[in-house]
Structure 1
Amino acid sequence: MTINVKVLIFFWKGTQLAKIKIISVPKGAGTRAIQESWLGVVMQVATPEEIKKHPPLNRAQIVPMCEGYMVSRITAVEALKKAEKTAAAKFWDDSQWGRYIVFQRDNCRAF
């Protein structure tokens, strides 16, 4: 499977991939309250190696409408739990949306 990496942005610092912090409410699945739960959450971006080892199940999982950051759903759920945003963590943990979540670049700050 070929992945169109033009929609993905990776920021590397030495050998470590930067994290992202959600700084504005992202569009996407869930109620407005679920979407707002992302505010302030910090997550590690998926590595190219991770994406090659576990590619998205279908092309619908790569959001072509934005430049953004792909995060593993498992990593995102753990970040929500760490931030004590349990309702959102449960929503995403129970979802069948796939292995990755893509956050639009404008909603994030990379560091």
Structure 2
Amino acid sequence: MLLPTLPVTGSCRASVRIFLLIILLCCSGCTHLANDEWTGRDKAQHFLSSAFLAAAANAYAERQNWSPSHSAGFGVLFSISLGAAKELNDSRAGGTGWSWKDLSWDVAGAATGYVLWNTAR
């Protein structure tokens, strides 16, 4: 018996990718979690570097003649991906531990970088 197929739109694919990323992060097998605070110098560094990376990647994509929506998506996802990779590196045995708080500041910084880049154009 064949199962009916549903049309898949671009937004549906993006939703599936985000869902899979969240599942991957939740099941990443981190060796230990960080016991850290919500504020501090480390969080400011996460926020500012993510904002810069999102704006820079957005600018790069625009200069490659990508559409504005693809440029924005690339900028934000590039920044968040680097933040997640850093946290994954921190979660190894000799690291400081995976920090959801750091990743939250990365996401906030990426969103801020996106907004600042698009309002400055």
Please indicate the TM-score interval, normalised by the length of the shorter structure.
Answer: under 0.3
If each structure's strand is expressed as a fraction of its own residues, which one has the higher value? 1
Which protein shows a greater Rg? 2
Query: Normalization by structure 1: what TM-score?
Result: 0.27
Query: Normalization by structure 2: what TM-score?
Result: 0.26
If each structure's helix is expressed as a fraction of its own residues, which one has the higher value? 2
